[in-house]
């Protein structure tokens, strides 16, 4: 199966060892013959990495003076990449002479990335050495947003901010303090801080990112993300460009390729021929928003042809509940369950799916058969993409997971596990109790099922007077630029009655930091502490991001007390900043805050950063023993091990089918089994389920099984979505008026070398990608008489932007696309920052909600300490598209639905490339239109939100109930 005869050239190349021998017997066979890499082969992959015993004194020739042979001696210290959530391992090469970081390479000891990185990992060196980086804390002078700054000390900043937070807490204004995160990083650290302060103050970017797909997965099995076991799969289906971008994409990409090398087939559903689609065996260019129809058609084929996994469906789905609720006239039998599902999805024929999506019926049938054949070894993934783009986008992930359930691939080897099975959770010192506050600015009643904070609506909530932010931290977060409707953010940031004090914690200038009161420089990958653990494969690991110059100083006998003493300038890190801030909020301990941040080893004293991590590491299974075996002894042995290797593998990949784990005798004491559904409960809470006479842990859902039928959706007023459904998107073909030039714009993809809003300080990355034209199929270009490079005006619901056309066959006809992460800007009055990537723009408001932006100049060479800044050859910094998008929150998941209905036209004679217009009154009207689509809380028993749903920074259960007065 899957064997392809080698060509003559391949034969020779394989024999000479120029390429690996992919044709030796058994290489492409599945199951018993499936090729595994031996330990020796894996070791060979790593042989070019410097061995760790030489890391303190590693000698290489200096490539810059080649062919001269000049030796350079480095100290190599591991850390993790900060340029996407994958947190791949890096090793920093520190010049022993100058004590400067000279380059970054991969860390072979990191179990997720295994020494490999994408382009953005090594480009961390650009960010460290960027001549425009912020090196000292700054405070604004003059009016907010005017661009005037003065240098202040860390003490000044800490004292000012701490006094304001202290006052707010003492006056019971807890909900006026918020920490809003763009790039998260440190496992549970901010829970520890914010819950230590007793506030419901966490806000995140997740509702413009992944909460749609999370909601779809959560409804099924109580976990909100998939962890596909790509390397062991037989068939892989991606609804994204996941080989090149997206969460955990580098660790996943290398395992997808491993899977493919063993013979797995790969299918990609995407209206764009992405690099991922071009590497796939099947490309399904679906019309945006119709993905669920295609998936349900596949489900119907699997059901009708009996390709499903009967045991799994019978044991691990809540089919009896479904039949009782929906087919009470029928006998409760498994056969009736299958028949009812076939009846429920009968309209989703391959022909119907083709009509909706444009994907050929034959291809849908072929892939359904492949998935059925793969059985448990079916791996799939939806993170953002369709799940983050459409009204009802969450239903795409739900329908994708339906296929995983039908094949029994949930948690199977080569299948798709819940992410939490492959993720480490730290045990922190002095854990604070959950907060007894509920912040309606984050989780308002209108969106009781919203999977994360309604962050995209914050400026609208403030605009209509729902509250204020007295102290607001933006953390590596740039909503003015990244979010839809950035002008409304600017209006609110400029108003001190809405945002009292805004502290931007950021390693680099950004459009949001221009509207801060304090700009506080935070460290990059090699300049900070963080703990990382992600579901990259069927194993569990923990990695340690560390300030490498601080660690080098310690090893060289010059320890420092605080990280900013070793970093460039006075660049600090959030960990120490927040511990210090917490002590200043509650200096004498009378508010009960300080106790969380006291040393677990030295009672009453401030915890140090080493103590915080040692406390966590010494509690990780097996780490103390491994550290000892490596020669580390003493109180900080586990920490020393992590400082040396940067990562530790806790579980090697046997965490499959964990739902079948049995409850212990201890756990079973005092439990009851519900005769209706076999759910095992303790003190009124479900903790397991009887399956085939065994007390299994199950899944964290009310039924402890995969919920094909969701009573939760019925209880929370959405009965029409009780089972997996196709929801027609807000950009469905039926709602577009083609005669008026209306198209769907896909704005959700990124060029693989870019980092949200942080590539601007990475010259190598900007050199590779620096434009974001409109992708247009030749048929559409012909219709409009457009050539590549022509200007095009895209009118959105609230304004327009003018971009250039790129005519390409890589786009589905009838759809246009524009990558995000490009179109960065600064105004003439702003501090120079990110000059590798920013246009200089003029912004003008008419005082009545109308805003215009136009480009004064593009990117130009500049004088700096980096000679490359004079060699800049690119001029075009692209166009800022997101600012012209209105907020479109899905009324159920809360996810911003990124796809836009746009009206295409040719710009007028006076209109120029990069021109933008937005009317914020209109954007507020559209916010209200979408708000009217919601079905607000309370739910059953006066709940604000289903108790079984996870929530970031979960508060105390007592605040889950809406007061009668509040209703």
Contacts to ligand SF4 by CB under 6 A: 81, 83-84, 86-88, 113, 117-118, 120-121, 249-250
User: Which among 903, 158, 255, 159 is positioned nearest to 535, based on CA atoms?
Assistant: 255
User: Which among 512, 517, 518 is positioned nearest to 481, based on CA atoms?
Assistant: 512
Peptide bond into 938 cis (omega under 30): yes
Structure tokens given for 503: 């502290």
- Closer residue to ligand SF4 in complex, CB, 646/955: 646
| Most distant pair of Cα atoms in the chain: their distance | 86
- From the CB of 748, what's the least distance to ligand SF4, in Å? 18
β-strands 469-475, 499-506: how paired?
Answer: parallel
- Closer residue to ligand SF4 in complex, CB, 417/753: 753
Structure tokens given for 366: 């072929």
- Closer residue to ligand SF4 in complex, CB, 93/493: 93
- From the CB of 560, what's the least distance to ligand SF4, in Å? 27
- Closer residue to ligand SF4 in complex, CB, 83/389: 83
- Closer residue to ligand SF4 in complex, CB, 114/442: 114
β-strands 540-545, 530-532: how paired?
Answer: antiparallel
- The angle subtended at Cα 656 by Cα 653 and Cα 658, nearest 5°, is 125
- From the CB of 254, what's the least distance to ligand SF4, in Å? 10
- From the CB of 456, what's the least distance to ligand SF4, in Å? 24
- Closer residue to ligand SF4 in complex, CB, 113/382: 113
- Closer residue to ligand SF4 in complex, CB, 115/392: 115
- Closer residue to ligand SF4 in complex, CB, 422/923: 422
- From the CB of 258, what's the least distance to ligand SF4, in Å? 16
Cα gap 508→824, rounded to integer Å: 13
Cα gap 33→27, rounded to integer Å: 7
Residue 141: CB atoms within 10 A of its CB come to 10
b or e along 830-846 (b: 16 or more beta carbons within 10 Å of the residue's beta carbon)? beebbbbbbbbbeeeee
- From the CB of 752, what's the least distance to ligand SF4, in Å? 9
- From the CB of 436, what's the least distance to ligand SF4, in Å? 37
Note whether 750 and 819 are within 8 A (CB).
yes
Structure tokens given for 806: 């790129």
- From the CB of 824, what's the least distance to ligand SF4, in Å? 18
- From the CB of 767, what's the least distance to ligand SF4, in Å? 17
Peptide bond into 67 cis (omega under 30): yes
Helical H runs in 557-651?
A: 574-585, 609-617, 623-629, 637-645
- From the CB of 83, what's the least distance to ligand SF4, in Å? 4
Burial classification of residue 41, based on how many CB atoms lie within 10 Å of its CB (0-12 exposed, 13-18 middle, 19 or more buried): exposed
- From the CB of 277, what's the least distance to ligand SF4, in Å? 19
- Closer residue to ligand SF4 in complex, CB, 254/840: 254
Cα gap 140→937, rounded to integer Å: 41
- Closer residue to ligand SF4 in complex, CB, 424/927: 424
- From the CB of 78, what's the least distance to ligand SF4, in Å? 13
Note whether 118 and 249 are within 8 A (CB).
yes
SS3 readout for 428-471: CCCCCCCCCCCCCCCCCCCCCCCCCCCHHHHHHHHHCCCCCEEE
- Closer residue to ligand SF4 in complex, CB, 86/417: 86
- Closer residue to ligand SF4 in complex, CB, 120/826: 120
Cα gap 7→234, rounded to integer Å: 24
- From the CB of 61, what's the least distance to ligand SF4, in Å? 25
- From the CB of 62, what's the least distance to ligand SF4, in Å? 25
- Closer residue to ligand SF4 in complex, CB, 78/222: 78
- From the CB of 244, what's the least distance to ligand SF4, in Å? 10
- From the CB of 646, what's the least distance to ligand SF4, in Å? 13
Give the side-chain half-sphere CA count within 13 A for 93: 18
Note whether 398 and 217 are within 8 A (CB).
yes
- Closer residue to ligand SF4 in complex, CB, 524/887: 524
b or e along 640-671 (b: 16 or more beta carbons within 10 Å of the residue's beta carbon)? bbbbbbbbbbbbebebbbbbeeebeeeeeeeb
Note whether 830 and 519 are within 8 A (CB).
no
- The angle subtended at Cα 531 by Cα 526 and Cα 536, nearest 5°, is 100
- Closer residue to ligand SF4 in complex, CB, 475/732: 475
- From the CB of 119, what's the least distance to ligand SF4, in Å? 7
Burial classification of residue 325, based on how many CB atoms lie within 10 Å of its CB (0-12 exposed, 13-18 middle, 19 or more buried): middle
- Closer residue to ligand SF4 in complex, CB, 230/924: 230
Note whether 490 and 459 are within 8 A (CB).
no
- Closer residue to ligand SF4 in complex, CB, 253/585: 253
How far apart, in Å, are the Cα atoms of 854 and each of 461, 790, 803? 29, 18, 12
How far apart, in Å, are the Cα atoms of 573 and each of 185, 300, 530, 560, 757? 12, 52, 9, 14, 19
Residue length of the chain: 967
User: Which among 74, 111, 216 is positioned nearest to 539, based on CA atoms?
Assistant: 111
- From the CB of 90, what's the least distance to ligand SF4, in Å? 7
- Closer residue to ligand SF4 in complex, CB, 81/323: 81
3-state secondary structure of 195: helix
Residue 856: CB atoms within 10 A of its CB come to 12
């Amino acid at each position: 199966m899957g064997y392809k005869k080698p060509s003559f050239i391949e034969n020779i190349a394989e024999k000479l060892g120029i390429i690996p021998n992919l044709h030796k017997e058994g290489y492409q066979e599945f199951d018993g013959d499936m090729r595994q890499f031996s330990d020796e082969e894996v070791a060979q992959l790593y042989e070019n990495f410097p061995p760790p015993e030489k890391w303190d004194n590693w000698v290489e020739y200096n490539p810059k003076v080649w062919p001269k042979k000049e030796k350079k001696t480095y100290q190599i210290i591991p850390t993790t990449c900060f340029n996407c959530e994958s947190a791949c391992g890096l090793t920093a090469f520190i010049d022993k002479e100058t004590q400067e970081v000279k380059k970054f390479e991969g860390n072979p000891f990191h179990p997720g990335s295994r020494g490999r990185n994408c382009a953005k990992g090594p480009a961390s060196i650009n960010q460290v050495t960027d001549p425009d980086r912020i090196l000292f804390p700054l405070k604004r002078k003059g009016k907010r947003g005017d661009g005037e700054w003065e240098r202040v000390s860390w003490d000044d900043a800490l004292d000012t901010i701490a006094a304001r937070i202290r006052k707010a807490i003492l006056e019971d204004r807890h909900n006026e303090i918020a920490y809003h995160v763009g790039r998260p990083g440190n496992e549970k650290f901010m829970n520890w801080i914010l819950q230590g302060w007793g506030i419901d103050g966490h806000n995140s970017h997740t509702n413009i990112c992944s909460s749609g797909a999370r909601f779809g997965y959560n409804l099924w099995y109580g976990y909100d993300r998939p962890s596909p076991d790509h390397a062991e799969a037989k068939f892989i289906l991606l609804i994204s460009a996941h080989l090149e971008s997206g969460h955990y994409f580098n660790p996943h990409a290398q395992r997808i390729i491993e899977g493919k090398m063993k013979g797995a087939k790969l299918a990609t559903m995407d209206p764009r021929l992405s690099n991922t689609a071009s590497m796939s065996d099947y490309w399904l260019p679906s019309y945006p928003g119709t993905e669920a129809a295609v998936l349900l058609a596949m489900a119907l084929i699997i059901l009708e042809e009996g390709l499903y996994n009967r045991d799994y469906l019978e044991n691990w789905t809540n089919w009896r509940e479904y039949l009782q609720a929906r087919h009470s006239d029928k006998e409760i039998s498994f056969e009736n369950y299958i028949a009812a599902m076939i009846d429920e999805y009968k309209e989703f024929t391959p022909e119907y799916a083709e009509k909706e999506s444009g994907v050929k019926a034959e291809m849908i049938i072929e892939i359904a058969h492949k998935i059925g054949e793969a059985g448990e070894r079916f791996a799939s993934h939806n993170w953002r993409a369709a799940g983050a783009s459409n009204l009802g986008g969450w239903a795409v992930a739900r329908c994708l997971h339906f296929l995983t359930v039908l094949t029994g691939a949930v948690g199977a080897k080569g299948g798709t596990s819940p992410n939490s099975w492959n993720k480490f959770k730290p045990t922190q010192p002095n854990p604070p109790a959950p907060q007894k506050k509920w912040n309606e600015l984050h989780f308002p009643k209108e969106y009781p099922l919203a999977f994360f904070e309604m962050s995209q609506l914050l400026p609208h909530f403030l605009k209509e007077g729902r509250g204020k932010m007295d102290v607001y931290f933006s953390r590596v977060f740039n909503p003015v630029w990244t979010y839809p409707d950035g002008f409304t953010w600017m209006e609110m940031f400029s108003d001190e009655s809405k945002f009292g004090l805004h502290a931007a914690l950021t390693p680099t200038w950004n459009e949001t930091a221009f509207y801060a009161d304090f700009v506080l420089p935070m460290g990059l990958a090699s300049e900070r502490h963080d703990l990382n653990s992600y579901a990259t494969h069927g194993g569990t690991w923990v990695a340690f991001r560390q300030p490498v110059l601080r660690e080098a100083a310690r090893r060289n006998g010059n320890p420092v007390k605080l990280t900013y003493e070793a970093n460039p300038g006075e660049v600090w890190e959030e960990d120490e900043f927040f511990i210090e801030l917490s002590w200043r909020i509650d200096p004498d301990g009378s508010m009960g805050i300080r106790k969380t941040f006291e040393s677990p080893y030295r009672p009453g004293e401030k915890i140090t950063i080493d103590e915080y991590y040692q406390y966590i590491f010494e509690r990780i299974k097996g780490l103390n023993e491994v550290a000892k075996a490596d020669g580390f002894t003493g109180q900080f042995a586990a920490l020393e091990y992590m400082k040396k290797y940067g990562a530790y593998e806790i579980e090697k990949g046997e965490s499959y089918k964990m739902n079948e784990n049995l409850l212990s005798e201890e756990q079973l004491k005092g439990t009851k089994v519900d005769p209706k559904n076999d759910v095992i409960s303790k003190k009124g809470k479900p903790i397991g389920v009887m399956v085939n006479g065994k007390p299994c842990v199950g899944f964290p859902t009310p039924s402890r099984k995969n919920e094909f039928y969701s009573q939760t959706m019925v209880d929370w007023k959405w009965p029409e979505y009780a089972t997996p459904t196709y929801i027609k998107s807000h950009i469905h073909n039926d709602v577009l008026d083609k005669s008026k030039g209306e198209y769907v714009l896909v704005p959700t993809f990124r060029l693989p070398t870019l980092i949200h809003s942080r590539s601007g300080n990475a010259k190598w990355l900007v050199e590779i990608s620096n434009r974001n034209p409109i992708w247009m199929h030749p048929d559409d270009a012909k219709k409009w008489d457009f050539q590549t490079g022509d200007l095009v005006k895209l009118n959105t619901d609230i304004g327009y932007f003018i971009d250039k056309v790129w005519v390409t066959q890589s786009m589905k006809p009838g759809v246009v696309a524009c990558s995000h992460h490009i179109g960065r800007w600064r105004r003439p009055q702003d501090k120079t920052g990110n000059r590798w990537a920013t246009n200089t723009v003029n912004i003008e408001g008419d005082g009545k909600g109308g805003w215009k932006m136009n480009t004064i100049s593009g990117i130009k060479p500049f004088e700096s300490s980096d000679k490359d800044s004079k060699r800049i050859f690119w001029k075009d910094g692209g166009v800022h598209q997101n600012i012209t998008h209105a907020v479109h929150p899905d009324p159920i998941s809360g996810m911003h639905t990124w796809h836009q209905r746009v009206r295409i036209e040719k710009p007028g004679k006076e209109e120029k490339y990069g021109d933008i217009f937005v009317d914020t009154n209109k954007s507020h009207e559209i916010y209200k239109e979408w708000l009217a689509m919601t079905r607000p809380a309370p739910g059953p028993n006066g709940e604000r939100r289903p108790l079984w749903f996870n929530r970031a920074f979960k508060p105390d259960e007592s605040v889950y109930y809406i007061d009668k007065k509040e209703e």
